[in-house]
Structure 1
Amino acid sequence: MYVGVSTDSKDNKKWRCRTCKTTGSLRYESFNKGSNRSLPSLLQFLYFWSEDIQSHVFLEKQLQWSPNTVVDWNNFVRDICIEDLIINQEPIGGLGIVMEIDESKFVRRIFNRGRLLTGQWVFSMYQQGTDNVLMIQVPHRSGATLLPIIQRYVLPGTTIHSDE
């Protein structure tokens, strides 16, 4: 297939097959298939996002997007990254490598007042000296819950440090 000119698509281009003459949208099966934004502006946004340029005023001005659109796309791209991290978690550690493990409970209270709400337990594993971190939501912090996670995500031979 090649990219050909088209007058009936949002992007003025379509995929075209040389042999069977079928055509398809450039956005087919992509994260931006329902977007009304132009592909160049989406690519610019992704570039700014990847460079950690988070100023909404800058993005609104450069891309000529509304404040709501900038917020929506920031959230959308962050959600895609989180989903990818959850799906593609690889085991970490190995012979001679030290891992630190801990569990934390995340709750939200406004101005540290009011009743303590139920929160979410998160089990985290950090490989010392690197950026390798795994964080997994768990229902509780019992050994029966955490041990299978350690066996699944920490490679044999790893030294594990914990506060307990």
Structure 2
Amino acid sequence: MASVCSGCECNYFEFIQKFYKNNEAAIAYLRDHGVLPLEVICPLCKTPCYYRAQRHDWYCGVTRKIHHRKKRCHYVVSDYKGSFLSGAKMEPYKIICFVNHWLNKRGHYKTVLQCLGLSRKTGAAWQKSFAEVTEHWLDNQEPIGGPGVVVDIDETLFGKMKHEKGKSQSQIWVFGGIERDSKNYFISPLEEPLTENLMSLIQKYILPGTVIVSNRWNAYSSISDHDYVHQVINHSGDFVDKENAKAHTQSVELLFHDVKEWTLKPGSRPHFYKQYLAQLLFQQQHTHSNINHYFFREAARMYPPDFEAEEPSSVSVAEESSDNESQESDVSDEDEGSPSTSE
């Protein structure tokens, strides 16, 4: 995990104070965290483009001599292209202030939309984009364990039983593991078929050589066939190592307690359970003073701006007149609205 930038740690209100109605500071913050590019290389001229702040784009403008004629490269690309802000038509300070609210859950949602001048539709679109970032983080959590490290694992069913004509709804299987000593952990949704997907999650999130302690579920029986030491506990009381069984139970119960308590809140929608889980775990694993830092680092990892390798679909290379008049391509300014990344 990347270290927090110097001067980046600040609480909810300090963050607002730094960036509210300050687009220049917001853009600098996004560049420092890799969300926006620090430079763009023209794919035709192989030279650095220059940034046009009013248009939020990068322009080449290099003049070359070709057969005694001067030609200027008119390669231009949006500053937001391919990034987390791709297609954004909202001022940058509004985006990062909205993220700050979404991660910390301070204030009333409608009040935040009103203060930032956003419609409910725009707010919903951006919240969907924010959720995609935390879900990406959930799917790419750092593995835990290692040779000799004891990791307790378990699975549980989240949600409530709703009986409607004999059918049960509002449920999701979740699998997790926690290091017994350091308390480092991971939690991930477990999709059907459970048995087939379980081993792939173990190999993804638990390092080889780990001592894995589990219950007697048959799906765990193949763990020892891989590069793990597998120990089994039995809650019926016939397991010899009672301390190991007790430690396993306490670790896993603590791991799932807060998440289960949260998922049972009124208004939770089953098809958003993974989104809820990702947001909650992201909040739990980062402090209020650095959570924005790690969110935008993850956004940059999910949408890395990379223009060097890009080949333009169409680039205007116009001839210059003999008196060296400057020609520039027409690029429209950004309009206000919601992001295309959420569509």
**TM-score, scaled to structure 1:** 0.72
Separation of aligned partners in 1, 2:179 and 2:124: 33
Asked if residue 27 in structure 1 is aligned to residue 68 in structure 2, the reply is no
Match of 2:168 among 112, 117, 123: 117
Which structure's relative contact order is higher, taking Cα pairs within 8 Å and 6+ residues apart? 2
Q: C-alpha offsets along residues 128-151 of structure 1, whole Å, 9 cap, x if unaligned?
A: 443431314231343x54334323
The equivalent of 1:4 in structure 2 is 52
Corresponding position of 2:32: none
The residue identity in structure 2 corresponding to 1:2 is Y
CA distance in 1, matches of 2:61, 2:197: 55
Unaligned regions of 5+ residues in structure 2, if any?
Answer: 1-48, 63-72, 217-343
Identity percentage of aligned residues? 26
Counterpart of 1:134 in structure 2 is 187
> Is the alpha carbon distance of 1:120 and 1:49 closer, same or farther for their aligned partners in structure 2, counting shifts above 3 Å?
closer
RMSD of aligned Cα (Å): 2.9
Question: Residue 59 of structure 2 aligns with which residue?
Answer: 16
Tell whether the 8 Å contact from 2:174 to 2:188 is kept in structure 1 after alignment: yes
**Normalised by the size of structure 2, how large is the TM-score?**
0.39
Larger Rg belongs to: 2
SS at match of 1:122: strand
Aligned to 2:28: none
Deviation at 1:81, TM superposition (A): 1.7
Query: Residues 153 and 131 from structure 1, CA distance in 2 versus in 1: closer, same or farther, beyond 3 angstroms?
Result: closer
Aligned pair count? 155
- Structure 1: where are the runs of 5+ without partners? 7-11
Deviations 1:62-93 (A, max 9, x none): 3121234323322320122203432x344221
The alpha carbon displacement at 1:58 in A equals: 3.5
Aligned pair in 2 of structure 1 residues 134, 58: CA closer, same or farther (>3 Å)? Answer: same
1:94 maps to 146
Per residue, is there more strand in 1 or in 2? Answer: 1
Distance 2:53 2:204 in 1: 49
Which secondary structure does the structure 2 equivalent of 1:138 belong to? Answer: coil
Cα 1:54–1:137 change in 2 (3 A) is farther
